[in-house]
Amino acid sequence: MNETVLDFEGKLRAATKGTTPLPAQKFVASLRTRLGQENEAGTLSRRFQRRFIVRASNALVLLIVVLVALLGPSDVLAAIQRLMGYVPGVGFIQPQLILSEPLTVSRGNVSVTVENLVVSSSESVLVFRIEDPYSVSGSQSSSYRETTRNPYLQMPDGTIYQPLTGQGRLEKNGRQWRELIRFSPLPPDTTSVFFVTELALPSGTLETLQLELLLERGDHSPMSAGENFVSSATSIVPDEVKVRLDGIAIEQDRLVLNVIVDWENPNWQVVEVMNFAEPTPKGNPIAHFASVTDANGAIVPISLNTMESSANSNEKQAYFVFLSDMPVNEIAFPATLSLDAIYVSSFLPLSEQPVFTFFPKTNVIPGECETLLQSMVSNEIEATLAKVCYLDSDPHMSLGGGGGGGNEISPPQFGLELSLSAPSDIVEIFVGDTACRVQPNPCAGSASYSRQWGDSDLLKSVHLYAVEPNWPVIFSIGGFDFIREGPWSIEFELTD
């Protein structure tokens, strides 16, 4: 590098860094303090974790004692059992879903209480009791058994689950009947289900009860959060993606929806709801995959407001905010938010990267291509190497413009352009030369071209070498971007 260049570098610094202000000291100190608070919280949790557990255990015991004294042992025991996934007559099970809270309806002296609905991967167990404190015939289990008839569970979409087995017993000297009914497992994303049964009243009339049972996850984490809305149904397809409404608000007469997308696949780095495949004219709202339909079936136009896809892939969560483009008072509730698809950027660990081997069939002539049919299949991706072309120019060279320079660096002398076919939902594939894992040269710098930017159905990747590579070249797929079709739908309602 000569002196002129060095001098020019100084000018470049002056024109860039020199025109950029330093951070305000107040801001630097404030952020440092904030980080310190984060650290303190983290350290605190580790340092006092054991002590906290001991204290929490003591507090729990004390709480149980107080509750037993106030409420009586049987109710407290039932509540604890419910929280711990214990089902009378079944034992402790690992629940995927449990009833949010018991539900009671009364008809005259008779009350029906659904104590629990526990959904595991193998079954759904419903526990309910019937109480008739003044019943003189209550000592006969048959009379209670005949009180409820034809019970079943009905999903919001109308799907019915008929009982598989049932059992019951008399309690409280015949004034209470507790029954347990087993069903097939409900879908793990179920947020509510109806318990439907016919109830024979002492008056002789027959009434059909339909109790909506709200479910929460077995670990007691909420299916949805927020104070002023009710999420009554969540359809999740496919299983590894969960879309939920984290909150709803009204700002300047517009509906604001906070949507969270959670995923399980550790290879997914980024999830977006923007529709990259649809070009967005400058100044127009960004195309996205979400839509809202109100109770009348009218489409509510919404815009993607802000998006906070996690910067850390380990969080496996993305956060989006949508804003209605029409006043909230023109929207009929309940409304339904639908996410038709998501855009996923995926990264494959080295051990999972599918590879294919390329060996030239003919002489390597720049500008010529070889048509191939090699398929690569892994758990995550299926792609076919359709064509390999030998490049005689360096696409990267054009990036820096014309001119000579860079004497100490040799320009790439050799290039391969790979064309791959893959399912249409895959929009970009990142291909690497495995030789680069063990040696810097000869191995390829690489660049991939997204499907929507290309002019054909094939995905491409370009690999540039300083010298002709050692044949065969073994390529691997390091990651890919794809569109995962939904839809995911969430029905929601404003309570006030």
Partner 1 sequence: MQRIVNKGGAIVASKDSGDAEEDRLILLAQEDPLQFHALYDLWITRVYQYVYSRVGVQQDAEDITSQIFLSAYQAFPRYQHKGVFSAWLFTIARNQLKRFYRAQTWRNLPLEAAEQGRRDAGLEQVDQAEEIERLSKLIRTLPTEEQELIRLRYIAELKFSQIASILNRREDAVKKMLYRLQERLQKLLEVHYE
Name the residue nearer to partner 1 (CB basis): 136 or 311.
Answer: 311
- According to the binding rule CB under 8 A, does residue 266 interact with partner 1? no
- According to the binding rule CB under 8 A, does residue 452 interact with partner 1? no
Can you tell me which of 281, 297, 367, 402 binds partner 1, judged by CB under 8 A? 402
- According to the binding rule CB under 8 A, does residue 399 interact with partner 1? yes
- According to the binding rule CB under 8 A, does residue 43 interact with partner 1? yes
- According to the binding rule CB under 8 A, does residue 445 interact with partner 1? yes
Residues 121-180 that bind partner 1 (CB under 8 A): none
Contacts of 196 (CB under 8 A, 6+ apart): 151, 152, 153, 154, 208, 209, 210, 211
DSSP per residue, 219-266: T---SS--SSEEEEEEE-SSTTEEEEEEEEEEETTEEEEEEEEEE--T
Name the residue nearer to partner 1 (CB basis): 238 or 403.
Answer: 403
- According to the binding rule CB under 8 A, does residue 39 interact with partner 1? yes
Name the residue nearer to partner 1 (CB basis): 177 or 414.
Answer: 414
Task: Give, in order, the Cα–Cα distances in Å from 478 to each of 298, 348, 353, 423, 462.
Answer: 43, 5, 6, 17, 14
Count of residues that bind partner 1 according to CB under 8 A: 76
Residues 302-321 that bind partner 1 (CB under 8 A): 303-309, 311-312, 314
How is residue 426 annotated by DSSP? E
- According to the binding rule CB under 8 A, does residue 446 interact with partner 1? yes
- According to the binding rule CB under 8 A, does residue 252 interact with partner 1? no
Can you tell me which of 85, 354, 469, 479 binds partner 1, judged by CB under 8 A? 479
Task: Give, in order, the Cα–Cα distances in Å from 245 to each of 35, 205, 254.
Answer: 29, 42, 16
H-assigned helices in 105-251: 141-145
Name the residue nearer to partner 1 (CB basis): 216 or 380.
Answer: 380
* Of 253-261, 361-369, 374-382, 404-412: span binding partner 1 (CB under 8 A): 404-412
Name the residue nearer to partner 1 (CB basis): 306 or 495.
Answer: 306
- According to the binding rule CB under 8 A, does residue 70 interact with partner 1? no
Contacts of 331 (CB under 8 A, 6+ apart): 255, 292, 294, 300, 324
* Of 111-119, 146-154, 283-291, 361-369: span binding partner 1 (CB under 8 A): 283-291
- According to the binding rule CB under 8 A, does residue 476 interact with partner 1? yes
The distance of closest approach from Cβ of residue 358 to partner 1 in the complex, given in angstroms and rounded to an integer, is 15
Rounded Cα–Cα distance for residues 446 and 395 (Å): 11
Task: Give, in order, the Cα–Cα distances in Å from 144 to each of 109, 133, 165, 201, 242.
Answer: 13, 12, 17, 11, 41
For residues 148, 154, 159, 161, the Cα torsion angle rounded to the nearest 10 degrees is -50
The distance of closest approach from Cβ of residue 447 to partner 1 in the complex, given in angstroms and rounded to an integer, is 9
- According to the binding rule CB under 8 A, does residue 274 interact with partner 1? yes
First and final C-alpha spacing in the chain: 70
Q: Name 178's bridge partners.
A: 129, 169
* Of 126-134, 162-170, 246-254, 440-448: span binding partner 1 (CB under 8 A): 440-448
Backbone angles phi, psi at 166, to 5 degrees: -155, 155
- According to the binding rule CB under 8 A, does residue 473 interact with partner 1? no
- Give the residue from 145, 125, 18 showing the smallest Cα distance to 81: 125
The distance of closest approach from Cβ of residue 450 to partner 1 in the complex, given in angstroms and rounded to an integer, is 14
Residues 45-64 that bind partner 1 (CB under 8 A): none
- According to the binding rule CB under 8 A, does residue 419 interact with partner 1? no
Name the residue nearer to partner 1 (CB basis): 40 or 212.
Answer: 40
Rounded Cα–Cα distance for residues 433 and 352 (Å): 15
* Of 111-119, 137-145, 298-306, 327-335: span binding partner 1 (CB under 8 A): 298-306
Contacts of 405 (CB under 8 A, 6+ apart): none
Structure tokens at 71: 């409420």
Can you tell me which of 124, 235, 353, 489 binds partner 1, judged by CB under 8 A? 353
